[in-house]
Amino acid sequence: MNLYHKIEELLDKYKFEELTLEELFLEADRIGNKYLTYQEREEFNHRLAKEVNEIADSIDKQFPETEVEFIDFGSTTKKNSKKYTYKSYRTVKL
């Protein structure tokens, strides 16, 4: 009986139909973290970061960026109007 009431409370608290997919994943992650120890969470985060870095390296190898872009904040130009002040920065591609 208590389990049924807890499930009903959970369903009343969250209207899952109204949540976005991202919100559902975040909620599932929050609930799942309740059952992990601090060490298990740290180990998972370490493995996840390693996998993400390996994927990023693989993407960089497949799609190398051959141009380097620098933003020169040293020389700004200002255009004054009655209401707004605009700043523009020039970029240099090598």
Q: Is residue 16 part of a domain?
A: yes
Residues in the chain, how many?
A: 94
Q: Determine the average pLDDT of the residues in 77-92.
A: 58
Q: Is residue 30 part of a domain?
A: yes
Q: Is residue 10 part of a domain?
A: yes
Q: Could you give the CA distance from residue 43 to residue 28 in angstroms, rounded to a whole number?
A: 18
pLDDT of 81 over the 60 cut? no
Stretch among 16-20, 52-56, 59-63 having the lowest mean pLDDT: 16-20
Q: Determine the average pLDDT of the residues in 38-65.
A: 92
Task: Name the domain count of the chain.
Answer: 1
pLDDT of 55 over the 80 cut? yes
The DSSP code for 63 is S
Q: Determine the average pLDDT of the residues in 47-57.
A: 95
Say what percent of the chain tops pLDDT 90: 23
Residue type at position 81: S
Q: Is residue 91 part of a domain?
A: no
User: Which domain range does residue 15 map to?
Assistant: 2-61
Q: Is residue 14 part of a domain?
A: yes
Q: Is residue 41 part of a domain?
A: yes
pLDDT of 79 over the 60 cut? no
The answer to whether 91 and 64 have CB atoms below 8 angstroms apart is no
